[in-house]
Amino acid sequence: MEYLVNTPADRKEMLKKLSLSSLDELFADIPAKLRDPKLELPPAMGEPELVGLAGELSGANTAAKKLCFLGAGVYDHYVPAAVEELLGRGEFYTAYTPYQAEMSQGILQAIYEYQSMVCRLTGMDSANASLYDAGTACWEALIMALAKKKERRVIVSAAVNPHYRQVIETYATATGTEVLTPALCEGVDDPDELKKLLEKKPGAYLVQYPDFFGRINDIAKAAELIHTAGGHLVVAANIISLGLLKAPAELGADIVVAEGQLLGNHMNYGGPLLGVMAAKSEFLRRMPGRIAGATTDAKGRRGFVLTLQAREQHIRRERATSNICTNQALCMLAFSIHLALLGSRGIKRLATLNLSKAEYLRTAITKLPGFSVPFKDLFFNEFPVRSEQPVDKVLAALGEAGILGGIALGKYYAEMKDSFLVCVTEKRTKHDLDRYIKIVASC
């Protein structure tokens, strides 16, 4: 509508233009359980009263005060004070998107440095900036891999984060893409079923590294399988783990995506997040978002330009292969500052801390009666725990002690209803870990 809908007459006119009879009909597509038919709002307040109420409500959020052992895509890593100090500078905090690119040298340099860091970590030829989160980045990567394929068919590992798979399924339904997922067999894709799916000549195979269960699987073998079938390997990586693990490019990956929230960005109750993407040079012109490049001006001075910006409102519109139309530049800048502070030795040290602390907790839990780990594979900082006690009971006991103890896996994998996923980051102290073990032992 070209005007604000403020009065009953306005609403009536709006509904008439939309050929609708009521506001209920307007919102019919929203599931009833997500609609609140009547908001019980208190009378208007003055500013002091409103500030007091906001403080009271935020104080009731006890989850924010608990020790966090949750993972599965959003992680409780330490954010150095320098990140927020630099991020809060006016020239950064107000920067959104370089529409007049040449006039935005600061943000273009930030994008360029970010891309360079991502390429070093992943071993890929080029990186873009920037996508909404790892879930949408997974889909964008699959679409890139399918670009030259007549048939739209991909394989997504059952050990990929279920939230990422939900995003992929949503997009796939709307675009006529067939998503094939092998059955889970002892935590990995069933090899016999995977072989049959590969015979269908999919355009891509998406795997996670480490996977949803924290295990470090054979990525090189996955690359060999999909390349033999004529497709591309897409790897969803844990960006911090790359401080220790081989770069995906060395293992045969064609496209790498990741969740960038792990560096420089707090959990923030689940967002905003940052989708990281890097790829071989053959995919350069099909990458969504923006790609900044370094150049020199007429006087030989170093400068930065938008080398490519495959945005639908600029060049493709209804023929666009990507729906990415905004910019996560602030999250990207936080990621870049944190990674620059760490450096190559710091990211290795950070990854080592995550691994060693998770190993300490996992080893201790396996010694407790009634608890075990279902997989013995090499892992990073997440691992599932199998419990002879009901999972809800164990997690509730941890919750009462002020600990967010893990994520019940039964809602994602029916065969794992007796297990929960635990994540350990560098923020957890030995005292925290010993406390966790003591509570679990008492269950």
By CB atoms closer than 10 A (0-12, 13-18, 19+), residue 58 is exposed
pLDDT surpasses 50 at 1 = no
Of the pLDDT bands very low, low, confident and very high (cuts 50, 70, 90), residue 443 is: confident
**CA–CA separation, 170 vs 149, rounded Å?**
20
pLDDT in tens, 13-33: 888 888 988 888 888 888 887
More confident residue, 442 or 37: 442
Please say if the pLDDT value at position 137 is more than 80. Answer: yes
Contacts of 275 (CB under 8 A, 6+ apart): 130, 131, 132, 133, 134, 135, 136, 137, 140, 257, 258, 259, 260, 328
Look at residues 385, 397, 374 and name the one whose alpha carbon lies nearest to residue 443: 397
> CB burial class (10 A; 0-12, 13-18, 19+) of residue 19?
exposed
pLDDT value of residue 59:
82
Q: What is the pLDDT of residues 358-378, one digit of tens each?
A: 999 999 999 999 999 998 889
Q: Which pair of structure tokens corresponds to residue 301?
A: 């001075």
Separation of alpha carbons 410 and 128, rounded Å: 36
- pLDDT of 144 over the 80 cut: yes
Give the model's pLDDT for residue 99. Answer: 66
Angstrom distance (rounded) from CA 108 to CA 98: 7
* % of the chain at pLDDT higher than 90: 63
Average pLDDT in the chain: 89
pLDDT tens per residue, range 297-334: 889 999 888 887 655 545 555 566 676 766 678 899 99
**C-alpha–C-alpha distance, residues 204 and 198, integer Å:** 10
User: Which tens digits make up the pLDDT trace of 218-238?
Assistant: 999 999 999 999 999 999 999
The mean per-residue pLDDT over the stretch 241-251 comes to: 96
**What pLDDT was estimated at residue 117?**
96
CA–CA gap between residue 265 and residue 190 (Å, rounded): 36
Task: Give the pairing type, strands 178-180 and 184-185.
Answer: unpaired
Torsion, CA 384, CA 346, CA 274, CA 405, rounded to 10? 30
Q: Which residues does residue 277 pair with via DSSP β-bridges, in sequence order? A: 257
Given a cut of 60, whether residue 343 has pLDDT beyond it is: yes
Local confidence band at 4 (pLDDT 50, 70, 90 cut-offs): low
**pTM of structure:** 0.86
Q: What is the mean pLDDT of residues 241-266?
A: 96
Categorize the per-residue pLDDT at 441 as very low, low, confident or very high, splitting at 50, 70 and 90.
Answer: very high
AA letter at 85? E
Map out the domains of the chain with their CATH numbers. Answer: 64-78+344-441 (3.90.1150.10), 81-339 (3.40.640.10)
Residue 440: what pLDDT?
A: 95
Q: Which residues of 273-303 are buried (b: 16+ CB within 10 A; e: fewer)?
A: bbbbbbbbeebeebbbbbbbeeeeeeeeeee
CB-based contact 182:197 (threshold 8 Å)? yes
Name the CA radius of gyration of the chain, rounded.
24
What number is the average pLDDT over the span 266-272?
88
* Confidence category of residue 431, pLDDT binned at 50, 70, 90: very high
Residue 4 or residue 410, greater confidence: 410
Residue 53 scores a pLDDT above 60: yes
Is the Cβ–Cβ distance between 442 and 400 less than 8 Å?
A: no
SS3 string, the chain, reads CCCCCCCHHHHHHHHHHCCCCCHHHHCCCCCHHHCCCCCCCCCCCCHHHHHHHHHHHHHCCHHHHCEECCCCCCCCCCCCHHHHHHHCCHHHHCCCCCCCHHHCHHHHHHHHHHHHHHHHHHCCCEECECECCHHHHHHHHHHHHHCCCCCCEEEECCCCCHHHHHHHHHHHHHHCCEEECCCEECCEECHHHHHHHHCCCCCEEEEEECCCCCECCCHHHHHHHHHHCCCEEEEEECCCHHHCCCCHHHHCCCEEEEEHHHCCCCCHHHCCCCEEEEECHHHHHHCCCEEEEEEECCCCCEEEEEEEECCHHHHHHHHCCCCCCCCCHHHHHHHHHHHHHHHHHHHHHHHHHHHHHHHHHHHHHHCCCCEECCCCCCECCEEEEEECCCHHHHHHHHHHCCEECCEECCCCCHHHCCEEEEECCCCCCHHHHHHHHHHHHCC
